[in-house]
Amino acid sequence: MYGNGRGVAQSNEKAVEYYQLAAEQRHVDAQCNLGFMYRQGKGVAQSDEKAVECYQLAAKQEDAGAQLILAHCYFVGLVVAQNFTEAKALCEQVFKDPQLSFAAYELHDRAERFEKSESISTLREKILSHLQVKKHRTMTHYTSFDVGQTILLEKSPFRLGHINAVNDPNEGKLLWQELGYEPEEGNPVFIGCFLPESDSLNMWRFYSKNHLNDDACGCAITFNTERFFDYRLLEEQGNHTEQEERMPSFTNTGQSPQESAAFYRVVYLKDNFKILGEGAKELQTYFKDLKKEVDKFVGKKPTPEKLQTLAWLLGPLPYLLKDAHYKDEQEHRVIVTHLDYGAKEIQSSAPDFATGTAPRLYLELHRDDHLAPIEYVTLGPKAPNKEMMAPYWRHQLASKFESQLARRKDKQLNIHPSRCAYK
């Protein structure tokens, strides 16, 4: 009550007094709250040492929140000596907690990677941070008209496709070639492709075709970059407590780690691994350092097991590099690499050998409000019946999803034709 100023004048100092009294009587919440006050320096002199002491007391009483905070302390070496094994052991105690289990799995996975190779894992995170989109408020996905209509009107989940279904035969291979090894598949890789520009003539040509492969006949769906990642990979949220006791795994939870909750720009390469575009010099240094660390990690006689571990350590990095021939696309990607084959999240459609239809693997991004992340829709320069499609879609959306539209600021979803002149 003192901390929140409810019924009394707000006073962090008084709050700390009462937390201290309760903490001395082994009250777990008070121990955690006191740790927070020491960590923030609220009502007491800031002290990481005192904060960690409080969390250690609560962790001994098997408080999951304190155990997870303490795991972070061991991971970064805050007050306690950095110890990835101890961080993992604490995370394992949190797995059974339904609220905190996924955060514990994510930290456990990260600690395990750093334990295998701190240098490669550090470079992975530096490169991903460098490529992560932080400025753009929107990202646009170009697609066919029928897919656009299905997403808008049938509440169909947005899909991330398996990496092997894309059009570049060198996909995922360029980094492995630079490192000097044959590409090794780790976990399955799923991607979604986007562009910062919502009305690009090149993209209308490349990715907005109809069933006859005619250019510019589709639409472009523009998403808000912050709201896009409010999704789950299962129609109903999974729970770790339902799983049998086994080795830590992200699968069958419906959630994605923070690394997957970001848009990354693709890096384009000329011959001899020359990086083009923004931040090329810094990225060139990172990849040069990565090659050195990989050589140390793999050794002179690499085993299949070692290369498999390397694929896991590299994660999404190989799939953010493309040949300079594709540079006009200026592609950005969402990449999911944390799942295992056999996970409930991975959807599939069987091949049809009579028609030559290929099999497919994909992920579905489920949302309670499928319109929430969509900013607006652009109709392609050669979209069929585009004069009537915008009012038709607006009418259908207003009829079917009145309550969802009512939550939007403008009370409607803007649908407009492309401004590109196309011949």
- pLDDT tens-digit profile of 184-223? 888 899 999 999 999 988 888 877 666 666 778 889 999 9
> pLDDT tens digits, residue range 345-370?
999 999 989 888 899 999 999 999 99
Name the residue among 400, 341, 316, 392 with its Cα closest to residue 145: 392
pLDDT band, residue 133 (cuts 50/70/90) = very high
Instruction: Quote the mean pLDDT of the chain.
Output: 92
Task: Using alpha carbons, select from 365, 319, 367, 312 the residue that is nearest to residue 340.
Answer: 312
pLDDT number for residue 15: 97
Query: pLDDT for 248-266, tens place per residue?
Result: 578 888 999 999 999 999 9
Distance CA 379, CA 387 (A): 10
Residue pair 362/162 in contact (Cβ under 8 Å)? The answer is yes
- Model pLDDT, residue 212: 63
Q: How far is residue 122 from each of residues 90, 127, 166, 173, 291, measured CA to CA in Å? A: 22, 9, 29, 22, 13
3-state secondary structure the chain: CCCCCCCCCCCHHHHHHHHHHHHHCCCHHHHHHHHHHHHHCCCCCCCHHHHHHHHHHHHHCCCHHHHHHHHHHHHHCCCCCCCHHHHHHHHHHHCCCCCCHHHHHHHHHHHHHHHHCHHHHHHHHHHHHHHECCCCCEEEEEECHHHHHHHHHCCCCEEEEEHHHCCCCCCCCHHHHHHCCCCCCCCCCEEEEEECCCCCHHHHHHHCCCCCCCCCCCEEEEEECCHHHCCECCCCCCCHHHCCCCCCCCCCCCCCCHHHCCCEECEEEEHHHEECCCCHHHHHHHHHHHHHHHHHHHCCCCCHHHHHHHHHHHCCHHHHEEEHHHHHHCCEEEEECCCCCCCCCCEEECCECCCCECCEEEEEEECCCCCCCEEEEEECCCCCCHHHHHHHHHHHHHHHCHHHHHCCCCCCCEEEECCCCCC
Each residue's pLDDT tens digit, 35-66:
999 999 999 999 999 999 999 999 999 999 99
Q: What is the pTM of this model?
A: 0.91
The 10 Å Cβ neighbour count of residue 413 is 19
Residue-level pLDDT at 246 = 47
pLDDT at position 402: 93
Q: How confident is the model at residue 167 (pLDDT cuts 50, 70, 90)?
A: confident
pLDDT at site 338: 92
Sequence ranges of the chain with CATH classification 1.25.40.10: 12-116
**Closest to 240 (Cα-Cα) out of 59, 105, 70, 67:** 105
Residues 140-150 have a mean pLDDT of 92
DSSP 8-state symbol, 78 = S
Spatial strand order of the sheet with 138-143 comes to 138-143, 219-224, 374-379, 414-417
Residue 118's pLDDT is: 97
The per-residue pLDDT for 169 is 83
pLDDT of residue 210: 61
Return the CATH class of domain 12-116: mainly alpha
pLDDT of residue 205: 80
Is residue 144's pLDDT more than 60? yes
Q: Is the pLDDT of residue 90 over 50?
A: yes
Question: How far is the CA of 112 from the CAs of 11, 131, 312, 337, in angstroms?
Answer: 42, 23, 11, 16
Arithmetic mean of pLDDT, 370-395: 92
> What confidence tier does 244 reach under pLDDT thresholds 50, 70, 90?
very low
Give me the pLDDT at residue 384, please.
Answer: 84
**CA distances (Å), origin 400, targets 23, 152, 212, 366, 406:** 54, 10, 30, 18, 12
**Which pLDDT score is estimated for 242?**
47
**pLDDT digit string, tens, across residues 303-343:** 999 999 999 999 999 999 999 998 888 899 999 999 999 99
